């Protein structure tokens, strides 16, 4: 039987013995199976790469920031705070039309979007055309700005954009699309493939610093939602590039409206200024009191308060923000911020907590009342420092003289007094005597002043 098998295997077909042909066929089958296995394995890895970043590219997020999330608890906190400090009043005029020449000084941004639009004019009256406040739609029911984008690029709280996505959105980071720049980098206006307008912040490629600034902004507001905070939509990490993608707010900032590039469209009315400052106060109250760990912005100033078409404030630029965990009242840190807005205890010793933001807010409130810069060396010596000059004017009972002359309809005496006393409490040299931002919001809404102090 063995000899028959040998004879069979020794038979030749197409010049090769049968056993050789069998070995060759088995080898081919093995190679085909191996090729298919490798292809399936490669395809599976490719799919994984599309839905997650490589480990070396995942942005660092601290363990404690996991407590800041858009879940039911934080949503309820935000809603509770919004209801507690809800806007009052019916529709009001928001700015006075400027009938004279543009005499304002330029804002802090080196370049401003030329296509910035003001709000729609209302009916003509005795003071000319004015814009009226129309409440915005409920943000909880508004369509997501990320709808329609590829699902595979979603990661965690936001959206992972590729560098190619942002090249397309900003026309290859064209100079014509620049809407702001500073020590952190450059901000470009762009449009996503789904048509959503965005602001793309391209951080400077300083070794180590770009990653630090990136982590700060992601940790500070990546998971936070509030109608008066600029929403961080997503980010991009490729090589040395670090980019942040924000919602686009197209109506300038408070500084520009007070004395800068928006003054050709008119000047903000008193009601509009208080509305903007009230929204800012509510957003800071949310950051300080409604989430854990609390967020200290550290760079509250008029140029970081953006204004949307409804003249609602939106705080931006969290590049200097700090997180304060549970049980921490102060942290010692390198002094950062903008001259004229920095709290004295922070400037002198580096001690930082939420009361530092309260001081900066008080300076911004005084800016809105007076229309002048916090520090202006072009003025006589007693008037260089706005805060000290304001205190002197109040002591001399000359409060009526500090109101911005560009406000066409001056505020009532009681409204002016309420705003001034609120601001002066915020800029108290003793941090412990400054109110919480939730108290500040109630002060600005109150019909009478002063309010009783809360323990």
CA distance 7 to 3: 6
Rg (CA), the chain: 30
- Given a contact cutoff of 8 angstroms between Cβ atoms, the answer to whether 360 and 341 are in contact is yes
Token output for 221? 């507001």
Handedness of CA 294, 296, 301, 303 (dihedral sign): negative
For residues 309 and 39, give the distance between their C-alpha atoms in angstroms, rounded to a whole number.
Answer: 53
| Cα 339 from Cα 137, distance rounded (Å) | 37
Q: How far apart are CA 93 and CA 116, in angstroms?
A: 20
Of the candidates 78, 100, 120, 124, which has an alpha carbon nearest to the alpha carbon of residue 229?
78
Length of the chain, in residues? 455
* 361 touches 284 (CB < 8 A): yes
Pairing mode of beta strands 128-131, 121-125: antiparallel
436 assigned binding-site residue: no
Q: Phi, psi at residue 220, to the nearest 5°?
A: -70, -45
Query: 98 catalytic, yes or no?
Result: no
Catalytic residue (choose from 113, 213, 261, 299): 299
Binding-site residue numbers for ATP are 202
Residues designated as active site? 299
Binding-site positions? 202
């Amino acid at each position: 039987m063995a000899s028959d098998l040998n004879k069979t295997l020794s038979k030749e077909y197409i010049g090769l013995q049968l056993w050789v042909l069998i070995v060759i066929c088995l080898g081919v089958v093995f190679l085909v199976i191996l090729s298919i296995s490798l292809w399936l394995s490669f395809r599976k890895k490719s799919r994984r790469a599309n839905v997650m970043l490589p480990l070396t590219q995942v942005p660092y997020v601290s363990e404690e920031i996991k407590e800041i999330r858009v879940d039911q608890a934080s949503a309820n906190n935000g809603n509770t705070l919004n209801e507690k400090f809800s806007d009052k009043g019916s529709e009001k005029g928001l700015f006075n039309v400027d009938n004279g020449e543009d005499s304002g000084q330029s804002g802090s941004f080196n370049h401003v979007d030329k296509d910035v639009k003001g709000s729609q004019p209302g009916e003509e009256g005795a003071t000319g055309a004015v814009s009226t406040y129309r409440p915005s739609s409920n943000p909880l029911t508004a369509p997501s700005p990320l709808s329609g984008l590829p699902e595979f690029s979603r990661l965690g709280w936001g959206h992972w954009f590729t560098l190619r996505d942002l090249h397309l959105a900003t026309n290859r980071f064209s100079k014509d699309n620049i809407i702001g720049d500073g020590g952190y980098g450059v901000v470009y206006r762009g449009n996503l493939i789904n048509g959503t307008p965005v602001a793309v912040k391209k951080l400077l490629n300083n070794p180590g610093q770009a990653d630090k600034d990136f982590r700060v902004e992601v940790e500070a507001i990546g998971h936070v939602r509030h109608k008066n905070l600029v929403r961080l939509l997503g980010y991009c990490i490729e090589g040395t590039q670090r980019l942040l993608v924000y919602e686009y707010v197209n109506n300038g900032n408070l500084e520009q409206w007070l004395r800068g590039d928006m003054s050709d469209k008119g000047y903000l009315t008193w009601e509009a200024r208080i509305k903007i400052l009230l929204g800012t106060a509510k957003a800071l109250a949310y950051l300080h009191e409604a989430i854990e760990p609390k967020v200290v912005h550290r760079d509250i100033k008029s140029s970081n308060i953006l204004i949307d078409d409804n003249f609602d404030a939106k705080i931006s630029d969290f590049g200097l923000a700090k997180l304060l965990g549970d049980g921490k009242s102060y942290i010692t840190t390198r002094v950062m911020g903008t001259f004229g807005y920095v709290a004295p205890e922070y400037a002198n010793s580096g001690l930082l907590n939420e009361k530092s933001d309260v001081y900066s807010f008080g300076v911004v409130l005084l800016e809105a009342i007076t229309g002048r810069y916090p520090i202006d060396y072009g003025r006589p010596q007693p008037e260089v420092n706005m805060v000290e000059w304001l205190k002197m004017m109040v002591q001399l009972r000359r409060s009526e003289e500090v109101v911005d002359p560009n406000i066409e309809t001056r505020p009532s005496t009681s409204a002016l007094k309420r705003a001034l006393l609120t601001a002066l409490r915020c800029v108290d040299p003793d941090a412990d005597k400054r109110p919480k931002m939730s108290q500040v919001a109630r002060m600005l809404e109150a019909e009478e002043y002063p309010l009783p102090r809360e323990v």
